[in-house]
C-alpha cells in the first residue's frame, strides 16, 4: 500500500513544540540518571547525544521566536481585525 501525502508513515521527522521538547529533555535526563552501571555504553551514548541535540534546540528556540516576531509583515490598512466575508445578495422568488 502507498502512503498518502502527510501520513505519519511518510518517514518524516516528528515536529515538536518547545514545551514538548523541554518535557522530552527532562525525561531523558531522568532516564540517564536512573541508568544502571551495567547499561551498554552505546545506549548511554545515544541518550547523551539526544540530550545534547535537545539542549541546542531548546536554547536556540527563544532566539528563533524573537526573530520571527521581528520579521512578521505589518498590516498596511491600519486595522488588525479580519475582513468580513462578502454577503451574497438576497434572491427574491
Where are the chain's structural domains?
Answer: 15-68
Low-confidence ranges of the chain (pLDDT < 70): 1-12, 64-89, 93
53's grid cell: 541535540
Q: What pTM, to 2 d.p., does this model score?
A: 0.57
Cell of 17: 513544540
Contact 26, 50 (CB under 8 A): no
Distance CA(5)–CA(10), nearest Å, equals 7
Amino acid at each position: 500500500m502507498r502512503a498518502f501525502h502527510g501520513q505519519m508513515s511518510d518517514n518524516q521527522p516528528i515536529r515538536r513544540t518547545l514545551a514538548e521538547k523541554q518535557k522530552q529533555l527532562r525525561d531523558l535526563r531522568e532516564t540517564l540518571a536512573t541508568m544502571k552501571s551495567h547499561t551498554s555504553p552505546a545506549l548511554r551514548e545515544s541518550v547523551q547525544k539526544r540530550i545534547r541535540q535537545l539542549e541546542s534546540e531548546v536554547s536556540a528556540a527563544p532566539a528563533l521566536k524573537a526573530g520571527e516576531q521581528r520579521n512578521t509583515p505589518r498590516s498596511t490598512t491600519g486595522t488588525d481585525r479580519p475582513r468580513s466575508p462578502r454577503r451574497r445578495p438576497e434572491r427574491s422568488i
